Chain A
Amino acid sequence: SQTIHQWPATLVQPVGSPLSLECTVEGTSNPNLYWYRQAAGRGLQLLFYSVGIGQISSEVPQNLSASRPQDRQFILSSKKLLLSDSGFYLCAWWTVGTEAFFGQGTRLTVV
């Protein structure tokens, strides 16, 4: 079956600390992968997307980066977190003919 795992579910990090959020997909190959951020009560902002291993496209210049070291692994990182990086982060995948599948999300609070 097709599943997506995203962790951790919640994270509290101090300003200036590094960040690594991971997302893995099962049950498909060569999916498009996506990272979104959602501020409280707001819309889904596309941060990064990837159509293949090592291929990363950035939508918004910011303090974050993404990597795809394996076909079904997508990582969101930061070297130094800012207060403005707080939010709800969602990972998703899609292939032709399917709906988009979303992870459970990570609630990040930068303090």
Chain B
Amino acid sequence: AQTVTQSQPEMSVQEAETVTLSCTYDTSENNYYLFWYKQPPSRQMILVIRQEAYKQQNATENRFSVNFQKAAKSFSLKISDSQLGDTAMYFCGIQGAQKLVFGQGTRLTINP
């Protein structure tokens, strides 16, 4: 079975600050992918970053980076220099051979 836990239902930071969103997961599969998706008020799901589990190097996309700790089954997202447009719901997800499962989400608010 695959499960994802996001322990922070809501977070709020000031513009330009750095924020880290937590995610832990569980899976019995050896090959899997990890994702962070952003869902703004429009409810469109937008990929933020993805990580193949077999890659040890942490993925980075501009201001977004992950801290992937495979042994601990942890996959946190760091947003640097946060911007007002980063305000959204963020979902951590795990893709196995068949299922794509997400956590309950973290609602992030960036304050001016």
- Taking Cβ atoms with an 8 Å cutoff, the residues of A that contact B are 32, 34, 36, 38, 41-44, 46, 49, 51, 57, 59, 88, 90, 92, 94, 99-100, 102, 104-105
A102 touching B45 in the complex, CB below 8 Å, given contacts A41-B107, A43-B91: yes
Expressed in whole angstroms, the Cα–Cα distance for A102 and B103 within the complex equals 16
Query: On chain B, which size bracket covers the interface?
Result: 10 to 19
- Taking Cβ atoms with an 8 Å cutoff, the residues of B that contact A are 35, 37, 43-45, 47, 50, 91, 93, 95, 98-105, 107
| Chief secondary structure at chain B's binding surface | strand
Question: Shortest beta-carbon distance, A2 to chain B, in Å?
Answer: 13
| Chief secondary structure at chain A's binding surface | strand
A44 touching B102 in the complex, CB below 8 Å, given contacts A99-B35, A104-B44, A105-B43: yes
